[in-house]
Amino acid sequence: MLLKTFYRTYMLFRWVLRTTGLLRPIRALVGPLAGRTLVRLSGQSGRPVEVMGHQMVLASSGRFAPIAMALGEYEPRTTELLERLVQPGTTVLDIGGHVGYYSLIAARKTGSAGRVFAFEPELSNYELLTQNIELNGYQNITAVNKAAFRGTGKLALHISGLDTGRHSIYDHSLPETGTQEVETVAVDSFLESQGWPKVSLVKIDVEGAEVDVLVGMDRLLREPEDIKLIVEFNPLLLQNAGVDVHQFLEIPTRWGFTVQVVDEEEGIIPLEQADPSQLVARLLSSEGSVNLFCEKQ
């Protein structure tokens, strides 16, 4: 109860800062402190907690994951959507797998006849991802310690000083603790090495590198099969990566996808109904994000 009260107060404080334009400078000063306080209240650091029916270690000692995960409030509409989309025996790609929240849910839904490939480049997150897979006894998840990107190589990953879900290939001028050299791979190349399994769903959350990931899976996206995408849309991070955010909303249509917005309160809304210009303006002013649901026409 104390944790939820503190979390609600924290989120209200963040909303006030966003509306006044003070979120970024204040977050740089007190964001890590607030995160550590939430971790102490939750007892999540280094110990398993129950999340969506799974036992998960959300953060290693001294670090903190999105606290909404521990409260069972993490992206509820997106979670419902993924659970609905994943069918028994299908193959799912979780790109930006973090510590396994979506990978574990997908593994449960697809069952022993299906496969989940979870890409997580940051070493500490990857270790927790593999630990959480083992904690829950899943044999159908393959953890890949690489960043999905345009091609094969190595890049510097910026390690966030905020929560562990914010590491990025791009410098977003947020508090960070340093960089980590990581290997990269194009999804098409990886799938070729796996014998081209039939992929039904791809979830992408890579803190501004979404275009790079999509470019690296061009062959997959051109396949006629009924593949679906869930892609994070964070205009501020995309701008930092040099992406035109209005054009980004049109990119999936090049491969024949329609685009819908996953509103975590209202549900799935057609992009036209959400009004792209207003959506971008709102997310830029709030430094927020939404997930996009893309399916073939």
Q: pTM (2 decimals)?
A: 0.87
* 172 token code pair: 């977003």
Q: What is the pLDDT of residue 29?
A: 47
pLDDT value of residue 12: 58
Question: What whole-number distance in Å separates Cα of residue 119 and Cα of residue 275?
Answer: 32
pLDDT at 173: 75
Cβ atoms of 221 and 255 within 8 Å: the answer is yes
Question: Can you point out the beta strands (E) in the chain?
Answer: 48-51, 54-57, 91-95, 115-119, 141-144, 147-149, 153-160, 176-186, 199-204, 228-233, 257-263, 267-270, 290-296
Reading the block at residue 186, the tokens are 């194009």
* CATH T-level assignment (fold) for domain 2-296: Rossmann fold (3.40.50)
pLDDT at residue 79, as a whole number: 97
- For 209-244, what is the HEC assignment? CHHHHHHCCHHHHHCCCCCEEEEEECHHHHHHCCCC
| Tokens encoding 136 | 């829950």
Which residue carries 């890409």 as its tokens? Answer: 119
The pLDDT score that the predictor gives to residue 68 is 79
18, 11 in Cβ contact below 8 A?
no
| Distance from C-alpha of 112 to C-alpha of 167, rounded to nearest angstrom | 31
Residue type, 157: L
- Residue whose pair of structure tokens reads 């061009």 in the numeric block: 218
Spatial separation of the C-alpha atoms in residues 92 and 262, rounded to whole Å: 19
Domain ranges of the chain: 2-296
Residues 228 and 201: beta-carbon distance below 8 Å: yes
Mean pLDDT by 10 residues, the chain (297 residues): 54 53 50 53 69 90 71 91 98 98 98 98 96 98 98 95 84 82 98 97 97 98 92 97 96 96 94 94 92 94
